[in-house]
Homo-oligomer: A and B are copies of this chain.
């Protein structure tokens, strides 16, 4: 495929750099259907994975910019000497990886860099379940738990970037004696409610568990996490994606539990009869991340053109 960079016909590159899957794609950034040649691979060691991504983009014509939504923690502070790095991740071999710098050696292009969840949030804002919202959360419940979103119309950043997965929630050890799987904190939100936690607690991957008590416990933990998001951020909507949410009973259980936890205090229909429109699945499904990465690239390119 031969495509040209720059101008109104510009083509962008996007990488969803996930912990268990990398997705690379090129596209015009005009709509969710306008992606060419997406390619997916499991991440091997950093050198090999990054080299494979660089090769993909080198083969796909002249790009205006590349956007990356990466698993974290990452450094998103533009003025930091380690901007574009994956930092203290527990993922074996990936701590302190200069992701953008390594890609830049092969591809002389402008890069945008953000968390995988902020990229997915951006995709949902442009084309999906968060269109026209100023303040919303995007949370992914997969092997780990990540979260991001927008506050006052911009992607959430600050000191670093949000780390929803590592908040602390109540853990009733009488009901659930499981210690949690987080290597840093044990029974933080991710330590109790991620796909890895479910698998370790019950001895089977989450997609092989049908028992109602598995999903009731999971829904109760997720609802506690979502309630804390509501208390701290007051989002206009919460989008919940990730592999664990493939269990069809889970989202309805979470919604029911949230309305109970919020009962009375939050005087708003979104936390009562309209909860089905308040806590929702991603409209872009599992393409939210790579589409958001393309949008990051488009915005980066526009920013440079001003």
Minimum CB–CB distance for A109 against chain B, Å: 27
Neighbouring B residues of A234 by C-beta, 8 Å: 156-163
**Is B168 a contact partner of A224 (Cβ separation < 8 A)?**
yes
Contact string, A122-135, partner B, CB cutoff 8 A, digits 1/0? 00000000000011
**Is A167 a contact partner of B267 (Cβ separation < 8 A)?**
no
Q: Does A232 contact B (CB under 8 A)?
A: yes
Neighbouring B residues of A151 by C-beta, 8 Å: 135, 151-152, 156, 158, 233
Q: Which A residues from 56 to 114 make CB contacts under 8 A with B?
A: 73, 87-88
- Please classify the interface of chain A as helix (H, G, I), strand (E, B), loop, or mixed, using the class held by over half of its residues: loop
Interface size on A, residues (CB 8 A): 49
Neighbouring B residues of A52 by C-beta, 8 Å: none
Neighbouring B residues of A185 by C-beta, 8 Å: 261, 265
**Is A233 a contact partner of B88 (Cβ separation < 8 A)?**
no
Q: Which A residues from 144 to 165 make CB contacts under 8 A with B?
A: 147, 151-154, 156-165
State in angstroms the CA–CA spacing of A161 and B159 once bound together.
22
Neighbouring B residues of A169 by C-beta, 8 Å: 168-170
Q: Which A residues from 186 to 228 make CB contacts under 8 A with B?
A: 224, 227-228
Minimum CB–CB distance for A110 against chain B, Å: 22
State in angstroms the CA–CA spacing of A157 and B268 once bound together.
14
Minimum CB–CB distance for A118 against chain B, Å: 11
Q: Does A287 contact B (CB under 8 A)?
A: no
**Is B164 a contact partner of A232 (Cβ separation < 8 A)?**
yes
Residue of B nearest to A184 (CB): B265
Given known A-B contacts A88-B264, A185-B265, A156 and B233 have beta carbons under 8 A apart: yes
Minimum CB–CB distance for A20 against chain B, Å: 20
Q: Does A231 contact B (CB under 8 A)?
A: yes
State in angstroms the CA–CA spacing of A170 and B202 once bound together.
23
Q: 5 pairs across A/B with beta carbons < 8 Å?
A: A152-B153, A158-B236, A162-B234, A168-B228, A169-B169
- On A, residues with C-beta under 8 Å from B are 73, 87-88, 134-136, 147, 151-154, 156-171, 184-185, 224, 227-236, 261, 263-268, 270, 278
